[in-house]
Amino acid sequence: MFDCNYFWRAISIHSDGSLEPCCHFNAGLEWTATRIKEDNAGWIAYRESKKLTDWNIQNSNTLQKIRKTALDGGVPTGCSPCVIHEKNGMESPRQKGYDTSADYQPPAESEKQILRPAEYIEAMDLFMNNICNFKCIMCSEDFSHLIAKEKNIETPITNWGDNEPHILEFMRRAKNLKKVTIAGGEPFYNTSYLHKVLEAILPRAKNIKLTITTNGSNKIKQETADMINQFKEVNLAISVDGTGKYSEVQRSRSNWNIIKENIDHMNEILDTKDVVYLYFNSTITAITLPDLPHLLDWANKHPAVKWVHPVFVAYPEWLRCEVLKQEVIDDVKDKIIALTKQKDFAFTHPRCSEQIIKNLENIKPTTKYREQFDNYFEDLKAKRGLDLYKELPQFKDWLM
């Protein structure tokens, strides 16, 4: 059986209230841009079919179908990200699992049933809404209502709507929760939502490992910090991809000085000694790659930043590092190798430094995406006044 612990003990709730077993699941992959264009009614029906139809959340139609497919010996369509990872010899989220602790007991065979009690759910990924104060260049309307507004989408804000009280009630009933991941939108931009979620799980905070993804642009209030500090363990993943202008170009509407101040404030207000592990989740694109050595150096010297997790962007294609010249990539590689040789460099774990070097060695510069890159930045200039070559003139020489 194509088995996965997420099928039986996990749930992922999207900003529109739709449900999936995990945040990697992507049943929409079969809906290519061409297919959506040709069969728009079918696409709308597909999206509607994912939404909650009753309040039996952990046994929604979608989750029941996925469990049935697995029990019948099939592979749920949305599990293709794991299938692809495994085919390419990489560890998939399914293989890694949602709990890597040594004392984790995987579900017994008798537990693998289509209907699951809420009390058995151990892991939950939550996308609360798409309300965000940024318009990052690699992001979409699903995660930023400002991008939705820019695209003239009729209802730019997506949230749980009428499902909200039922989702919160489900969280209160999920007494075995051990891992909760919260993303947005930007959780600290709209703290009323965040507080509702935290309050629902707070009675079991001492059992829960919490992860919150934030863009770091909002000052965390004392009230919020007091709640966060009560959890067993908290990973605060700050989406910082570069320093200075590199950060500000990639994360449109951001201000690097404010982010720096907020990181210092987080270190003061949160229990970074015993509870909160603060790290950077860095999206590396062609725009931020040249600054990566400096970002690593900056993070290494910051007393609160414990880790940098770089993720090389695959989509949109025109933001991939392949649009940069080989000499730019080589220069980044040389600087990072020099950095890792410094005695005081802390991010020496293979998942950081070795992985970066391996990724850089695999980049094959190409002119294939140059036209799309140029068109995209022309569009951003017209819509947002974002002038790449004015902000970062070096790019005139760095592109293929």
The residue among 4 and 324 lying less far from ligand SF4, judged by its C-beta, is 4
The residue among 62 and 214 lying less far from ligand SF4, judged by its C-beta, is 62
CB of 120 to ligand SF4, least distance (A): 16
CB of 104 to ligand SF4, least distance (A): 15
**Does residue number 107 form part of the binding site for ligand SF4 (CB under 6 A)?**
no
**Does residue number 63 form part of the binding site for ligand SF4 (CB under 6 A)?**
no
The residue among 6 and 134 lying less far from ligand SF4, judged by its C-beta, is 6
Contact with ligand SF4 (CB under 6 A) among 14, 24, 67, 116: 24
> Does an H or E element contain 126, and which?
strand 123-127
Contacts of 53 (CB under 8 A, 6+ apart): 60, 61
CB of 345 to ligand SF4, least distance (A): 33
The residue among 21 and 293 lying less far from ligand SF4, judged by its C-beta, is 21
The residue among 51 and 85 lying less far from ligand SF4, judged by its C-beta, is 85
The residue among 79 and 146 lying less far from ligand SF4, judged by its C-beta, is 79
10: nearest Cα among 176, 168, 137, 130? 176
Stretch that binds ligand SF4, among 19-27, 176-184, 197-205, 261-269 (CB under 6 A): 19-27
The residue among 21 and 187 lying less far from ligand SF4, judged by its C-beta, is 21
DSSP string computed for 233-299: EEEEEE---SSHHHHHHHEET--HHHHHHHHHHHHHHS-TTTTEEEEEEEEE-TTTGGGHHHHHHHH
Which 66-95 residues touch ligand SF4, going by CB under 6 A? Answer: 79, 81-82, 92-94
DSSP string computed for 17-82: S-EESSSS--GGGG--HHHHHHTHHHHHHHHHHTS-SSS-GGG-HHHHHHHHHHHTT---GGGHHH
The residue among 93 and 244 lying less far from ligand SF4, judged by its C-beta, is 93
Stretch that binds ligand SF4, among 18-26, 32-40, 117-125, 139-147 (CB under 6 A): 18-26
The CA distances from residue 116 to 2, 79, 119, 148, in Å, are: 18, 20, 8, 36
CB of 6 to ligand SF4, least distance (A): 4
**Does residue number 22 form part of the binding site for ligand SF4 (CB under 6 A)?**
yes
Burial of residue 273 (CB within 10 Å: 0-12, 13-18, 19+) is exposed
Contact with ligand SF4 (CB under 6 A) among 21, 184, 185, 216: 21
The residue among 94 and 333 lying less far from ligand SF4, judged by its C-beta, is 94
**Does residue number 6 form part of the binding site for ligand SF4 (CB under 6 A)?**
yes
**Does residue number 25 form part of the binding site for ligand SF4 (CB under 6 A)?**
yes
Provide the CA 208 distance to its chain's centre, in angstroms. 19
**Does residue number 179 form part of the binding site for ligand SF4 (CB under 6 A)?**
no
**Does residue number 50 form part of the binding site for ligand SF4 (CB under 6 A)?**
no
Here the tokens at position 67 are 């469990």
Contact with ligand SF4 (CB under 6 A) among 4, 19, 126, 305: 4
Helix (H, G, I), strand (E, B) or coil at 110: helix
d(CA 308, CA 280): 5
d(CA 299, CA 297): 6
Provide the CA 12 distance to its chain's centre, in angstroms. 13
Contacts of 218 (CB under 8 A, 6+ apart): 133, 186, 188, 189, 262
The CA distances from residue 7 to 59, 105, 142, in Å, are: 11, 15, 24
The residue among 63 and 263 lying less far from ligand SF4, judged by its C-beta, is 63
Beta bridge partners, 125, equal 12, 181
Helix (H, G, I), strand (E, B) or coil at 204: helix
Number of residues lying near ligand SF4 (CB under 6 A): 13
Chain residues that interact with ligand SF4, rule: CB under 6 A: 4, 6-7, 21-22, 24-25, 79, 81-82, 92-94
